[in-house]
Amino acid sequence: MYILQTVTGYILDLIIGDPRRPTHPAVLIGKTVSFFEKIAFRYFHSPLCQRLAGTVLAVIVPAGSYLTVRILIDGMSRIGTASGFFAAVWLISTTIGGKELRKEGKTIYDFLEKKDLNGARKRLQFIVGRDTRNLSVSEVTRAAVETIAENTVDGILSPLFYAFLGGAPLAMAYRAVNTLDSMVGHKNERYIHFGWASARLDDLLNFIPARICAVIMVVVSGFMGLNWKNALEIMLRDARKHPSPNSGYPESTVAGALGVRLGGVNTYNGVPSFRAYLGEPLKDLTPDCILKTLDIAFYSSLLFVLGGAIIMRWLSWGF
């Protein structure tokens, strides 16, 4: 039922990207989260109350996003079938960040190629949470590769996965959960209790897409002439070393495909934090690793869309 909408939404994202206007759904979701966050921290102070408030938030924001999109599409469908279809396609495209991810990665690469390390560091700040001011070329590259690999799941495959299953409403509900996680799902003093439910829900929803992504990345690595055997070996060996139950799968697979080592010391607000190593340093982390990771991400998303369309079509015929 949602195959054509999802495929068309994916193509639309490739063409126009994800311009963040004030009326963009992700912006509206973010404003909603900020509004309720202020209320929660004003009236709820104990760890238990904050956890309960955070759990309520983790339920009502995705549920509200789902219902809003469902009502909007139903309303547009009453105007005409085409109106409902194109509304769904546009909404699905807003949940996908493929073109923007490639744009940011390519911009960082271009800065590094021009030997503008400060420019690369500043641009990197848009897509990572770690401190970037003192990073070397290899560390900027590592951060970009890790983020691109991780966001292949969060920003591309997961919203497509849920769009195939439930169309624009379910894809938007996923985007709401992911936005919640990015805003409040941090393990720091402020959010350790309030963001607990959002972080756990995000982990749950990305569990299957992350593992599908890793398998697809292994296949894509073979097509690209990269080391697919090492990608598979490193994924099986190192994926679970990552502090996230999901991010380690795409990151370790990319590390193995490129023959590089990811992970190490990252600094957040001046505080160093060690993250387990993924992969072996068979090659140096050079800027061209960013381009290769972007290609892995693109071809993985393309294969996922094609495979998803075929599988969903087969299931619809079977049932």
Q: Tens digits of per-residue pLDDT, 188-215?
A: 888 889 899 999 999 999 999 999 999 9
Alpha helices in the chain (DSSP H): 3-16, 25-43, 47-79, 81-94, 98-113, 117-124, 137-152, 158-184, 196-223, 228-238, 248-258, 288-318
Q: How would you classify the pairing of strands 271-278 and 262-268?
A: antiparallel
Q: What is the band of 21 on the pLDDT scale with cuts at 50, 70, 90?
A: low
Classified as helix, coil or strand, 262 is strand
Q: What is the band of 319 on the pLDDT scale with cuts at 50, 70, 90?
A: very low
Q: What is the predicted pLDDT for the residue at 24?
A: 79
Q: What is the band of 41 on the pLDDT scale with cuts at 50, 70, 90?
A: confident
Query: Residue 193: which of 52, 28, 18 has the closest Cα?
Result: 52
Q: Are residues 91 and 172 in contact, defined by beta-carbon separation less than 8 angstroms? A: yes
Q: What is the band of 219 on the pLDDT scale with cuts at 50, 70, 90?
A: very high
Q: What is the predicted pLDDT for the residue at 23?
A: 64
Query: Residue 171: which of 4, 1, 6 has the closest Cα?
Result: 6
Tell me phi and psi for residue 301, to 5 degrees: -65, -40
Would you say residue 46 has pLDDT above 80? yes
* Overall pTM > 0.85: yes
Q: What is the predicted pLDDT for the residue at 318?
A: 54
Cα distances (angstroms) measured from residue 66 to each of 92, 142, 177, 205: 12, 36, 11, 15
Task: Specify the DSSP class assigned to residue 268.
Answer: E
| Average pLDDT, integer, range 81-89 | 95
| Average pLDDT, integer, range 167-172 | 97
Q: 215: which 2 tokens?
A: 């398998």
Q: What is the band of 17 on the pLDDT scale with cuts at 50, 70, 90?
A: confident
Q: What is the predicted pLDDT for the residue at 20?
A: 64
